[in-house]
Amino acid sequence: MIDINTSLLTAYYNAISTVNIPIYEGEEPDDVKDKIYAVLSDVVNIESSTSNSSDTNTTIQISVHSWEYKYNNSKALNEACALIFQAVKPTTNSVLDLSSFGLQMMNLNVQTDRTERFGEIGGKIFISRILIFQQDIFVIS
């Protein structure tokens, strides 16, 4: 088995950055000013290799955060998530291209899509959507 985390994070980062939503890896900076932004969280891999192939069953979490100073009705957050879905999985059988990393993605699915309302923090109303994508990765090389 080889490490696929950097390859997968790069592919998701590149896909989401095409829709002009600020995206960060790990956590957002302390001084983030964007009212909507995404954070790529850690990758979770479960080896599913066979005697003939090196494979993983992998998940990645993307948290999309939204804040407003007075009210936050989640409309803008939902629109941002729709753009992310379109960038990552525009059709039912779409996958991200990992061929430049010697990998092949198969079976890309949304495992979880949940909304979390944090209420008011520091005078800002926060709402987040947690998106967990599941995919099978086959090591080509």
On whether the pTM is more than 0.85, the answer is: yes
Structure tokens, 67? 């804040």
pLDDT at 27 over 80: no
- 49 compared with 105, residue with greater pLDDT: 105
d(CA 141, CA 99): 10
Beta-strand pair 36-47/124-139:
unpaired
Reported as a pLDDT band with limits 50, 70 and 90, residue 32 is: confident
Averaged confidence pLDDT in the chain: 89
CA dihedral 8→9→11→12, nearest 10 degrees, is 120
pLDDT at 90 over 90: yes
What DSSP state is assigned to residue 62? E
The domains of the chain, with CATH numbers, are 5-139 (3.30.2000.30)
3-state SS, residue 134: strand
When pLDDT is averaged across residues 17-42 and rounded to a whole number, the result is 87
d(CA 125, CA 120): 4
Specify the range with the lowest mean pLDDT, choosing from 19-23, 48-52, 55-59, 116-120.
48-52
